[in-house]
Amino acid sequence: MNSWAYSTHNGAHIMDEALYKWLNCVVLTTGTGNVTASSKQVELARDYQATAILTTGDYILHLAEVGAEMGIDPKGDLNIRALPNIGDKKKLESTFGTKVLDSYGFHEVQWVSVECAEGDGLHIFEDAYVVQIVDVDTAEPLPDGKQGAICITELYKTGSPQFRYNIMDLSTLYPRGQCACGSWLRKMAPFAGRGDNMVKLRGVNVWPEALGDIATSVPRVEDDYFVRAFRSGDRDEMVVSVVSGVETCEHDAVAAEVETALKDATGVRVAAEVVAAGELDELTGFGSAAKLVRFRDDR
Ligand SMILES: [Zn+2]
């Protein structure tokens, strides 16, 4: 079932192309909830035993909630076999009782790589793409294992082929070798943030996504964050907002733990604040954007 928006944007159409032409699937072309009501989508998924629902992680979780209200169990009544949805991996897996497979792509070139059942790295579709990892500043290719910007050349395409297109998303290439799944297709690491999001904070290079990973690994902190840089007097400051379910009186204690973890990992002092669940949604675009916004520079 394809619940992406069928429009002048190519998102829904690239899925259809792959599903019809390459995977021999029959597609339920529902489009988003604006086109086909969410309750109707749940009915269609159940009646036709859809094996995957292509949409954002947020929307497929919303469909599970709508289904529950209708008495439809996402695990028992639906036939979801794989979750190719970007989002809250743990929640998606526990809701639908199946595996989330990470993948990487962007609309200028479409789907580039996907995780196999081994779960260690994303196999690149090397019959269609040459993927290089290049230095963020010089665009020179980097050795295997070094993190840099993803630079892609398409080997065939009608329309607008891209040559050494530097998307400035960060990743690393695995050394060549056979995967435990049997494939020789080369692997890359999952999306690791934006190369142009690097922020100079008092002379030190920091990546907001890296700060978010550190902050959300602190106990009692949930998997959601937002980073803001701003000027305070003559000084650059940065604050990482995180979400925690602890009582309000414990917010300061959790924030202090996050600040210590950030200082230990980066060597620079970065402030932290704790907010309640849902308070960051407006900043991150949770529930409305396919790729969440994690950083804002107010300087
Ligand atoms: Zn594999």
Q: pLDDT (tens digit, 0 to 9) for every residue of the chain, 299 residues total?
A: 999 989 888 889 988 988 998 899 999 999 999 899 999 999 999 999 999 999 988 889 999 999 999 999 999 999 999 898 887 888 999 999 999 999 998 888 988 999 999 989 999 999 999 999 999 889 999 999 999 999 999 998 888 899 999 999 999 999 999 999 999 999 999 988 778 777 777 777 788 888 999 999 999 999 999 999 998 887 888 999 999 999 999 999 999 999 999 999 888 889 999 999 999 999 998 877 767 889 998 98
- The CA 53 to ligand 1 mean position distance, Å, reads 23
Residue with structure tokens 């940065």?
238
Q: Global pTM?
A: 0.69
- The CA 233 to ligand 1 mean position distance, Å, reads 52
- The CA 120 to ligand 1 mean position distance, Å, reads 7
Q: In the chain, which ranges are E strands?
A: 103-106, 110-115, 122-124, 129-134, 148-154, 165-171, 187-188, 199-201, 204-206, 221-232, 235-244, 271-275, 295-297
CB-CB contact of 162 with 154 (8 Å): yes
- pLDDT in the model for residue 212: 94
At 21 the three-state DSSP class reads: helix
- The CA 101 to ligand 1 mean position distance, Å, reads 12
C-alpha 61/C-alpha 56 separation (Å) is 9
- pLDDT in the model for residue 67: 97
- The CA 100 to ligand 1 mean position distance, Å, reads 15
Residues whose beta carbons lie less than 5 angstroms from ion ligand 1: 116, 118, 179, 181, 183
- pLDDT in the model for residue 101: 92
Q: What letter represents residue 158's amino acid?
A: T
- The CA 180 to ligand 1 mean position distance, Å, reads 6
CB-CB contact of 225 with 210 (8 Å): no
- pLDDT in the model for residue 126: 96
| Tokens, residue 45 | 């998924």
C-alpha 199/C-alpha 197 separation (Å) is 6
- The CA 184 to ligand 1 mean position distance, Å, reads 8
- Rama region for 201: left / alpha / beta (φ>0; ψ in -120 to 50; rest): beta
- pLDDT in the model for residue 260: 96
